[in-house]
Structure 1
Amino acid sequence: MSMRTMNGIPASPGRASGRVVRVGGNDTAAGEPPAGPAPTDPVAEAARIEPAVQAVAGRLEARAAAVTGDAHDVLLATVAMVTDPALLDNARELVLAGGRPAARAVHEAAGAFADLLAGMGGYMAERVRDIEDVRDRIVAELLGLPAPGCPDLADLESPVVLVAADLAPADTAGLRPGVALALVTEQGGPTSHTAILARSLGIPAVVGCAGATSLAEGAAVLVDGSTGEVAEVADVTGPAAAVAEWDGVGRTADGHRVPLLANVGDSAGAATAAGHRAQGVGLLRTELAFLSATEEPSPARQHEIYAGVLSAFPGLPVTARTLDAGADKPLPFLVQDGEPNPALGVRGLRVARARADLLDRQLAALVAAADGSGAQLKVMAPMVATAEEAAWFVARCRAHGITQAGVMIEVPAAVLTAREILAEVDFASVGTNDLAQYLFAADRQSGALAALNDPWQPALLRLIRLLGEASTATGTPVGVCGESAADPGLAPVLVGLGMATLSMGSGALAGVGAALAAVTLDECRSRAAAACAAVDPAAARAAVAALDAEHRRPVAIG
């Protein structure tokens, strides 16, 4: 019998029930270190910072070595944050010139960085939790205190549902499916590292769940990572997850092909995706090679990075998104005038048009990397709003000999002029995260607005339906590479709306493949129609669930 029920953001699909174990998360941090007294020997005090940084980095590297896939990649990204030279230099300067104790200097330097990321919104805002975790670990090292976080999570033996205010990547990466039955956090969003790792590990997760930490230790709860519902129940009935069976070919039950692709950022991610039987890469985030660079990476360095991804997929398509700079991805070497609202400012293709030389060097490096790799290079531009912009980008690609040039559909204007835009390009891909954010004027990092960014929102699905209709009219294929493509319940709906390919994190491939294999193309279309006709996300999920029950082909609804 269900008792109290609360709702959060669906972050990783699946259902599981178990006993609550509350973990500290942010509560275990050392707290704000004192601003004084000023050190008597500032040089010696400043010299303490680097050894503390290296000690923390070493522990995280050891954790990274013990895991694979997305967990490994996320932990290495955290190590990069720990060892960021700018963080170290700023902290030293606060000691030498500002008279701060070392711990306080690290706290302030990292805090300034976190505040900057938070103000940017989007993907970078979801890295704030990572920065805070790095900060707290270095501060604890300097103060001689135990490391923050949840060091015993990897040692859990009894199956439990973990509940926390938030979890750092270093904590989440060590979780084991079957022991960690589900995750519930009060903070975080669907693109946070906690959510990404939960999906990679196949653990149901709900984030942004207000009141979650009020759940009592040992309480029995049912967590539905597909709907975002967390319900207290009378007793534990055991996990309800099923192992996804997929033969490695994306297709519906009646043989309609839907290539299932991976979103990657580097060669390690590409190798992981290939191991998960991705049928190519639907989104290579090339900006990840630029973010930490103080100057534009050389053509040789870019060639090395791109070749590592392309060579993992001989004979298969690899779609590279050109530099998505600006807004939530500022580049140190690409200084722009301050903008009152960067998310609506010069970003994506708008930066490329202002710096066509930068784009030309990137396109040349991509073409050189593709030569001899055996992969089928495709290139697309981010943040395209008009057909004129699309035509400009395609012409630039053609000048470099690129035969497959496309665009990202991330703003509503591009949907409303989709026929004109698709007539100019070879393909398009929908970034559902940004499209939802701009459609609803709702920052996807805002917990208060999380419901508006739910990928099951009928208004968002109706926009995607318009794209599907434009794709049919022009003959130009349109796919999805936003997080919504990783939802096994939503995947058939997207296919029914006319999406030709789905690209996602590697860990979601098998689940999505199995979900598509359970339905025919006509059944996908009926689910799409039902979801679009709904009044809200809950009704859309319920409508699709009713069709699943009618056809007696259970599909995980997310």
Structure 2
Amino acid sequence: MSTLRGVGIGQGIATGPVVRMTEALPAPERTDSTAGAAAERERVRSAVTAVAADLQQRADSAGGAAAEVLEAQAMIAEDPTLMDEIDTRIDEGTTAEWAVHDAFAGFRATLEAVGGYLGERAADLEDIAQRVLARLQGVPAPGVPDPGHPFVLVARDLAPADTALLDLDQVLALITSDGGPTSHTAILAREKGIVAVVGAADASSLEDGRTVIVDAAAGTVNDSPTEAELAVAAERIAARAAAGAAPATPGALADGTAIALLANLGKPGDAADAVARGAEGVGLFRTEFLFLSSAQAPTIQQQREAYIELLRPFEGRKVVVRMLDAGADKPLAFLNDAHEENPALGLRGLRALRASEDILREQLTALAEADAATAADLWVMAPMVTTVEETAYFTALAREYGLKTAGVMVEVPASALLADRVLAHADFASIGTNDLTQYTMAADRLLGSVASFQDPWHPAVLRLVREVGDAGARTGKPVGICGEAAADPLLAVVLVGLGATSLSMAPAALADVRRSLSQHSLDDARRIAAAAADADDAAAARAAAQAAAQI
């Protein structure tokens, strides 16, 4: 047996024959243009416009995190700085093909040198460049092969445009040699429930047609499985399929302690999939989709219609709507167009909304009207709340509009450490582990050079979660988790042991988390959480939790 190791995404397992991703278009040679600079620039703009439109169309079809990734790609394709670089090369007399190839290569090299999160974005640039070159050359863009039978796809990395629209009846699993847990391939595989092992350095050695076992739970690829190993894998696949097909039960621990399992949603159209996968409600509805694609704030009527569409499928169930979370990596010209040296520590979240209170009031008006028109249990929460005063401000304003359940997101250490005071005003707290990790570890989520610090397993983060959980228990207020951490089946158990009363995640993760919780009692969860929180670092916390879970 030969085993390749990488980072597993999710808990799935799959077997099947390897099919390798089609090769990229060869790099064009540097040649002088015979058509002239004006004609070459026109060719580039025509190709880029077509590629951006195609990416946007794919985004509209994909939904969820995939839509956000593809929309970002469409924007990158038409980035003015990149176009200036291309024009500079064309003005030197080169062809459009060479100018595109060289300009994108320069940007890609910069990201790869930074490494980490930004390094993993290099594959996105490569995909855009390939699509533009294909347009210029009049040939199909490289993409996912179609061998006519189910297969395990092997690639250096997978472009978001391909990952987002994979035929899940054909693609049994993904194996990539590049990428990591924060790559777009990993993010989209997690959201879509695709069995995947990323960052398997020797994946290029896998031969077309060879049957492999891809075990995401173990982070391994067995490229020479025996009949006995294939039989065991088949049993695991069948058991997981049966569990996933069984009627979804409410989330609960082995001793019957209820833990609500909710969905993170990015637009109303994602609600049907969440309901089908057994979501008990919505723990995080991101309202940014209404704002990010607009030059001005949407009207109250536009917002009301979108919120009604979201709420209707969840009649009688909880739906937590986060107010507009703009700023930092999601700037909006009509909300805050002032330059900030460090926007992650600037006017973002509730701070930005208070500075433009008319937008906040319009959003609350639309939500109140949608609440009155539907039968869902609507909860609203403010993002990036830091102080007790901010909490009191938001909850009072929400109640002014007749919204009966108002809470806050705990994303910074200040609000975590004052959780008992915060919960004296708020009806609930929802912990955003992505930002809480960023601010606890002083590690920008978008900065690759500190990517190793961005791990929600770090005991410092876990102890802050425990502060909020303990405060919730003392005040009798619910504490939810809506960050990426809730989708990790073992970490979900730890979070419950630290005091979380509900978990919200991408719908595809619900079945695995439900199964993981059902294997442990509340006492078990507390014991496992204590072992993790007492560790020295993230790796040790994960290992301690794994060991404690086996007892």
Q: TM-score, normalised by structure 2?
A: 0.82
Amino acid at match of 2:360: L
Secondary structure, in 3 states, of the residue corresponding to 1:181? strand
The one-letter code sitting in structure 1 at the alignment partner of 2:329 is D
Query: Do the aligned partners of 2:120 and 2:179 also contact (CA within 8 Å) in 1?
Result: no
Matched to 2:11, the amino acid is P
Residue of structure 2 in register with 1:186 after alignment = 178
- For 1:468, the aligned partner's letter is G
Once the two structures are superposed, the pairs formed by residues 119-518 of structure 1 within 5 Å of their partners are 130=124, 133-148=127-142, 150-152=143-145, 154-155=146-147, 157=149, 159-160=151-152, 162-171=154-163, 173-176=165-168, 179-190=171-182, 192-207=183-198, 209=199, 211=201, 215=205, 217=207, 225-226=216-217, 229-230=219-220, 235=225, 237-238=229-230, 239=233, 241=237, 242-243=240-241, 244-245=243-244, 247-446=248-447, 449-518=450-519
CA contact (8 A) 2:311 2:376 kept: yes
Runs of at least 5 residues in structure 1 that lack an aligned partner in the other structure? 66-70, 551-558
Distance 1:348 1:112 in 2: 34
Distance 2:109 2:325 in 1: 21
Query: What amino acid does structure 1 have at the position aligned with 2:472?
Result: S
Q: In 2 relative to 1, CA 136–85 (structure 1 residues): closer, same or farther, beyond 3 Å?
A: closer
SS of 1:253's partner is coil
* Cα distance change on mapping 1:419 and 1:202 into 2, 3 Å: same
Letter in 1 for 2:149: E
| Equivalent-residue separation in structure 2 for 1:311 and 1:413 (angstroms) | 36
1:324 deviates by 0.6
Residues 415-474 of structure 1: CA deviation (Å, up to 9, x unaligned):
111111111100010111111111112233455544432332222222211111111112
| SS in structure 2 of the partner of residue 371 of structure 1 | helix
RMSD over aligned Cα, in angstroms? 4.2
**Most deviating of 464-473 and 425-434:** 464-473
Bigger shift: 27-36 or 174-183?
27-36
Give the Cα–Cα distance (whole angstroms) in 2 for the partners of residues 492 and 260 of structure 1.
12
Q: For 1:490, what is the secondary structure of its paired residue?
A: helix
Residues in 1 aligned to 2:290 and 2:352: alpha-carbon distance in whole angstroms: 17
Contact 2:419 2:471 in 1 (8 A): yes
Q: Is the 8 A contact 1:204 1:223 kept in 2?
A: yes
Out of 36, 46, 54, the position equivalent to 2:42 is 46
> Match of 2:267, as an amino acid?
D
Instruction: Give the letter aligned to residue 151 of structure 1.
Output: V
SS in 2 for 1:346: coil
Unaligned runs of 5+ in 2: none
Give the superposition deviation at 1:363.
Answer: 1.0
| Counterpart residue number, 2:78 | 87
Measured in 2, the distance between the counterparts of 1:265 and 1:304 equals 15
Letter matched to residue 142 of structure 1? L
Tell me: CA distance 1:114–1:432, structure 2 relative to 1, closer, same or farther (3 Å): farther
Structure 1 residues 157-176: Cα deviation after superposition (integer angstroms, max 9, x where no partner): 36436242443342453153
Output the CA distance in 2 between the equivalents of 1:370 and 1:388: 26
Give the Cα–Cα distance (whole angstroms) in 2 for the partners of residues 380 and 484 of structure 1. 19
Residue 112 of structure 1: CA displacement?
Answer: 12
Give per-residue Cα distances to partners, 1:270-309, cap 9 Å, x unaligned. 2221222211111110012111111111112111222211
How far apart in 2 are the matches of 1:357 and 1:122? Answer: 39
Give the conservation status (yes or no) of the 8 Å contact 2:175–2:203. Answer: no
Contact kept in structure 2, 1:261 and 1:280, CA below 8 Å: yes
Letter in 2 for 1:173: L
Taking the aligned partners of 2:52 and 2:147, their CA distance within structure 1 comes to 20
Assess, with a 3 A threshold, how the Cα gap between structure 1 residues 99 and 222 changes in structure 2: closer, same or farther. closer
Helix, strand or coil for the counterpart of 2:78?
A: helix
Shift of the alpha carbon at 1:503? 0.4
Find the aligned partners of 1:103 and 1:392 in 2 and give their Cα distance: 56
Equivalents in 1 of 2:213, 2:540: separation in Å?
Answer: 20
Structure 1 residue matching 2:364: 3-state secondary structure: helix
State the AA in 2 paired with 1:13.
Q
Deviations 1:248-288 (A, max 9, x none): 31112222111111111111112221222211111110012
Instruction: Name the CA distance, whole Å, in 2 between partners of 1:162 and 1:181.
Output: 9
Query: Structure 1 residues 500, 122: CA separation in 2 closer, same or farther (over 3 Å shift)?
Result: farther
Given that 1:53 and 1:83 are in contact with CA atoms closer than 8 Å, whether structure 2 keeps it comes out as no
* Count of matched residue pairs: 536
Percent identity of equivalent pairs: 41
Tell me by how many angstroms 1:142 deviates.
Answer: 2.4
Deviation digits for residues 475-519 of structure 1, max 9, x if unmatched?
221110011111122222211111011000111112211222222
Residue 521 of structure 1 aligns with which residue? 522
CA distance in 2, matches of 1:296, 1:30: 44
Whether the aligned pair in 1 keeps the contact of 2:411 and 2:432 (CA below 8 Å) is: yes
Deviation at 1:103, TM superposition (A): 6.2
Whether the 8 Å CA contact 1:205–1:225 is kept in 2: the answer is yes
What displacement does 1:528 show?
Answer: 1.4
1:18, 1:220 within 8 Å by CA — same for their partners in 2? Answer: yes
> TM-score, normalised on structure 1?
0.81
The farther-off stretch of 139-148 and 262-271 is 139-148
Partner of 2:10: 12
Which piece of structure 1 moves more, 197-206 or 461-470?
197-206
| 8 Å contact kept, 1:443–1:449 | yes
1:397–1:16 distance in 2 versus 1, CA, 3 Å: same
Following TM superposition, by how much is the alpha carbon of 1:143 offset from its aligned partner in structure 2, in angstroms? 2.7
Q: Report the CA distance between 1:530 and its aligned residue.
A: 2.0
SS of the counterpart of 1:489?
A: helix
- Is the contact between residue 407 and residue 429 of structure 2 (CA under 8 Å) also seen in structure 1? yes
